[in-house]
Amino acid sequence: MVKHIHTNIHGIMIPTPKDVFSNPRVKAFIQGQWMEKWLDYMGYKENDIFALINHAMNSIERSTSLGSTNLEAKLISHFRSPKLQVVKNMNTIMVNGRRGEKSRTDVIMDYLSKRLHSKLRILDIGTGNGLVAYRLANAGHEVCSIDVGDTSDTYERLGRLADGPKQLVLSRDLQYHLMEPGAGLEEVIPNFHENRYDMALVLTVFHHAQNSYYNPAYSKWTKGWHGLLDEAIRAVKPGGMIAVLESVYGGLSLGDLKQSIGNEKYAQNQALYESYFRLSDAEQLKLGVFADWWLNMLAFNNDAFCPYNFNSMQGWRELFFTKYGMDNSLELITGFDNPETPEFHVFWYLHKPKLYDNSKLNSQR
């Protein structure tokens, strides 16, 4: 019988490492092209890092849970070694890119540019390191960014603190606010009101959020929690946009990808993509779960919350367009678009209809 960590918010059962590594095709993909490409891009060719990778893989394969405290503590202690400087290298590459390739921020800005015009009021939900928000503010947009947890990395990158520990103000066009998990936007943003923003950003956030959307049947819900998708829709003006970048598994073909990214980008990673699409939908999910844990808990070492709220392509479409009634303004199958975070992504611009009734969101609470 296959064991699972839990059932996520979409009703999808999440596999354990034993399930991931008991599948020879998934194991071969991870230990082969996926890990080799990541290591090569990161510049890790030394024997020490390869020995560490092998040790990590062996430890994970023997473990019963990706969330094992003892396992993570042991592996993280190795990754924090000053000699290897894994975390420092990851942060530097995320900001600047490497070998002339675009950084993660550059790639995301390219996606966003397809609908950016004039000066917009933008809400960045789950801003992370704050680099996208910072770039948008520098481009002339008014940006309010929010996130949960420890913001020391964001503060360090974006500048000086003002008005105490709850708010970071670089200029009138860029603000930062701490957000408690499950909080409504009124509790986070001073003078917040519905339909305030031209655009909301939710970039690789939904699968990290326990409350990615309001689902009263989800066992981990507590009274009063707000769904992030609900709050994003409520915040945006009728006719406004919600930019979503998310990890996806299943429901796509190699032809879908080639048509979306073009022949040149496809050719750069042809062998990787051909191997990936030989995996079944269930195998792609196992890869996504492993990649999320590996990159966040070990490589980035940022103690990110990982509920693995992944969804299939069909599942995301049904959530956005059928359940919540958004219009599909743009859908880009972007694939493994960031070498430093090799997860399979799709980018959407969700258009909020001009006659959208926000009371539909309230009724779901």
Per-residue buried b or exposed e for 116-137, using 16+ beta carbons within 10 Å of the residue's own CB? beeebbbbbbbbbbbbbbbbbb
How confident is the model at residue 194, as a pLDDT? 94
Q: What per-residue confidence (pLDDT) applies to 352?
A: 98
Fold of domain 104-253+292-362:
Rossmann fold (3.40.50)
Counting as low any pLDDT under 50, the low residues of the chain are 1-4, 152, 155, 159-169, 219, 363-365
Q: What is the pLDDT of residue 249?
A: 96
Return the pLDDT at 6: 79
Output the pLDDT for position 219: 47
* pLDDT of res. 121: 96
pTM of the model: 0.88
Q: Can you list the pairs that 83-92 forms with residues at least 24 positions away whose Cβ atoms lie under 8 Å? A: 83/48, 84/48, 84/49, 84/52, 86/44, 86/49, 86/299, 86/301, 87/299, 87/300, 87/301, 89/42, 89/43, 89/44, 90/42, 90/299, 90/300, 90/340, 91/129, 91/153
Quote the pLDDT of residue 138: 85
